[in-house]
Structure 1
């Protein structure tokens, strides 16, 4: 299968579903990670151009750890909107990856870029398969099954399904550790723990709720047409 996760910023996907992606990769599936914005405002010291380039390199390094292919959309951080250019780019991301399964941000996420990225991904799901919706890439014949990934720290999100990521928790940590600049930014503006510590806490909470050591939580996007089920998540329906 082809698996596509769409995140608003570099490190979003790693925080919310990298363990599940690592399990898919281990099972021989092709993983794609599409990043909507370039993270070009997240630095207390670098220029916008400098931090954007740094964050792209960090994302490339993270993807390489599980053999994921990167789709870099390069929209400006904090200025993501549900307009025609954005939807067109998201349609092409779906057409490029031809996914069977997609993971996207949910509507209860705290960050506007996250919510917009999730909504645009939902809105682009069907048009990507429509022949006369003409973009840079030909239409795909697949309509993927979609899941909402967890919110940062789990706030405002009630999972319907859990994936046991205990066996790949160190891979997930290492993917997050590649985002050095984001870790520095989070510490600078929130005076908080590292992004890896934040992830560990939520993965442990989700694990406790599901009987695993560490877990990631998901909700099915219940929309027409329904093209799959929870069995498309690793560990379900085995």
Structure 2
């Protein structure tokens, strides 16, 4: 697998689709290469199984047109900030060599999201240290540090530092979400009710995207927070 432009990372399969799929679709249409890494298999989810989640993630990835998807198989709900776990992600960052990493929300309802945000950020930093040695599939890896880490916004309302107009890509974004057939609303679907399985959750997502879009005159947008000050080449980049 060669270098990608954007590596989107989520604590669970479907985190990326729910939060930044529109952005990924937009960048894909602009010719960018994209890969996804899931930290866990989402095995604690109330609906579906690990097996169905893998198939759903594969189907969603096809809709997004990604180059590759990898699962670290850390413990859902209980993954720890350890050297061993961090090195697993460092390997993937060095494997894909992204310019930009999209990561979980810095604070959220699910504890894995905020925990994942720091975990991902720390791994991005460590991946750039020369004296940390890793190998992937038997080949030693060179250091690599992404130019930027942006955190997408999930369930909890956070004020974005910037938003991306994704209006033309909303339909395909929701196709990627609904690829997770066991997780989200589907007429006649079976399984326990969860905070994300009802039809109202779909309306919540659309409402949040409309809220983010309104200040920039867009119908739908996705929001992000930044770790450090973002620079632009021209004031006109901010229009």
TM-score for the superposition, normalised by structure 1: 0.85
User: Aligned pair 1:34/2:33, yes or no?
Assistant: no
Q: Distance in 2 between matches of 1:146 and 1:172?
A: 21
* Contact 2:22–2:166 (CA under 8 A) maintained in structure 1: yes
- What's 1:168 paired with? 169
Q: Distance in 2 between matches of 1:109 and 1:204?
A: 20
Alpha-carbon deviation of 1:236?
Answer: 4.7
Alpha-carbon deviation of 1:167?
Answer: 0.6
Q: Distance in 1 between matches of 2:232 and 2:181?
A: 34
3-state secondary structure, aligned to 2:127: helix
3-state secondary structure, aligned to 1:180: coil
- What's 1:80 paired with? 79
Alpha-carbon deviation of 1:192?
Answer: 3.7
The alignment of Structure 1 onto Structure 2 pairs a total of residues equal to 224
Gaps of 5+ in 1: none
- What's 2:157 paired with? 156
Q: Distance in 2 between matches of 1:70 and 1:230?
A: 30
Q: Of residues 210, 214, 219 in structure 2, which corresponds to 1:213?
A: 219
Q: Distance in 2 between matches of 1:236 and 1:70?
A: 31
* Contact 1:206–1:217 (CA under 8 A) maintained in structure 2: yes
Alpha-carbon deviation of 1:194?
Answer: 5.6
Matches within 5 A, 1:113-128: 113-128=112-127
Alpha-carbon deviation of 1:237?
Answer: 6.0
Q: Distance in 2 between matches of 1:172 and 1:206?
A: 16
RMSD: 2.4
> Taking structure 1 as reference, are residues 140 and 24 closer, same or farther at Cα in structure 2, changes over 3 Å only?
farther
Greater share of residues in helix: 1
> Taking structure 1 as reference, are residues 140 and 112 closer, same or farther at Cα in structure 2, changes over 3 Å only?
same
* Contact 1:176–1:195 (CA under 8 A) maintained in structure 2: no
Alpha-carbon deviation of 1:197?
Answer: 3.2
**After TM superposition, what 4+ stretches of structure 1 lie above 3 angstroms from structure 2?**
140-143, 184-187, 194-198, 228-231, 235-238
> Taking structure 1 as reference, are residues 194 and 10 closer, same or farther at Cα in structure 2, changes over 3 Å only?
farther
Gaps of 5+ in 2: none
3-state secondary structure, aligned to 2:80: coil
TM-score for the superposition, normalised by structure 2: 0.84
